[in-house]
Copies of this chain bind each other. A is one copy, B any other.
Amino acid sequence: MNREFELIDRLCKKLPAPSKKVFLGIGDDSAVLESISGKVLLTVDALVEGIHFDFSFCEPKEVGKKALAVNISDIVAMGGKPLAALISIGVSERISEDVLEEIYEGVAEAARFHSIDVVGGNVTLSPDRLMLNVTLLGESPKTPLTRRGAREDDIVFISGPVGEAAAGLYLLKKEGRKVLSRFPRLTSHYLTPQARVDLVELLTEENRVHSLIDISDGLSSELWHLAKASHVGFLIEEEKIPLSEELKQASEETKQSLRDWQLSGGEDYELVGTCSPSNWLVLKGEAQRRGLSLFQIGTVVSFSRGVRLKDSEGVEMPISPSGWNHLSSTERD
């Protein structure tokens, strides 16, 4: 009894003070938020030790930050604004309270940065693995951006390079944290991904965007989600997928397939969306004006064509939804 409540007290001390949106925060049967004017967004995601993170190359604070980031990304992918989080944690004696405190420091840092109130949670025994389950409540002031709105002839755009987190994970597993200095970009994209909150305002303006999804499992599987929900197909031009020098270098050094990382590597938390060709010109211009970048990587085609990739020689091939399977811990190896 006492250990549970003492631990909760200790962890809660790390969290930022509640904002005016909170009527009643941690410490009652439920949290109470002041009423929300727009539509309400709700999402949940879990990080499991040994599956989604590994303390041999992840710092506890990074795990805390990432747990919040992956959920923020789901709210962002609807064009929404995150408001409040619940943290449900499964712990055992094996994990020291100092480590838990560091995880909460990471949660708190992300919460503070994004003005998210951590309003409650749960602590339970999980003897074998640390489990970090984050629920995020958000608000959608405008029409939510769904997976359903892609239309034939739309432009397909992406918000940044993909495959970087997967490459970062590969390198961390192989070489440990000493690889951080050689591949700072790839490793940080895996360890502390950033949800693209900076794009929400641009993407929700004037109903320019028809569909949107975040890349949590991998570009190919996200495209398949969009295809299925919108009943369209995609033609992606491989050469147009943005690529960093680091990713190119990592692929050359390790002899790992660049294409596999780009198509099937998950956890980049970049956004993929579609809009009409005329809106694309406006969107791209608006992005530039604000110092942001969006990249056209293909076009929406008829459903019957499925999801296809055109390589640098103009050869087209079908691509399967080969993103990361959350039910297998080894597929990423």
* Chain A contact residues, CB within 8 Å of chain B: 1-4, 7, 23-24, 27-46, 48, 50-52, 73-75, 77-78, 80, 84, 86, 88, 90-91, 119-129, 131, 133, 135-138, 140, 144, 146-148, 213-214, 217, 221, 229, 321-329
Contact = CB atoms under 8 A, between A and B. Distances in A.
A28 B146 contact: yes
A196 to B, nearest CB: 12
B32 A86 contact: no
A52 B77 CA distance: 35
Tell me the number of copies of this protein.
2
Given A28-B229, A43-B86, A23 B144 contact: yes
B37 A327 contact: no
Contact of A325 (B4, B45, B77, B138): B4
A30 to B, nearest CB: 4
Contacts of A123: 326-327
Given A1-B217, A29-B147, A44-B120, 17 more contacts: A1-B322, A1-B324, A4-B325, A28-B78, A29-B75, A29-B213, A30-B136, A35-B36, A35-B38, A35-B39, A42-B119, A45-B88, A46-B122, A50-B127, A51-B125, A127-B128, A133-B133
Given A43-B86, A124-B51, A125-B327, A144 B36 contact: no
Nearest to A41: B30
A30 B138 contact: yes
A6 to B, nearest CB: 10
Contacts of A122: 44-46, 133
B41 A125 contact: no
Contact of A77 (B30, B34, B46, B78): B30
Contacts of A133: 44, 46, 88, 122, 133
B33 A39 contact: yes
Interface centre among A27, A44, A221 (most CB of B within 10 A): A44
A1 B31 contact: no
Contacts of A35: 36-40
A25 to B, nearest CB: 10
Contacts of A36: 35-36, 40
A27 B147 contact: yes
A122 B28 CA distance: 26
Contacts of A43: 29-31, 86, 120
Contacts of A27: 147, 229
B33 A84 contact: no
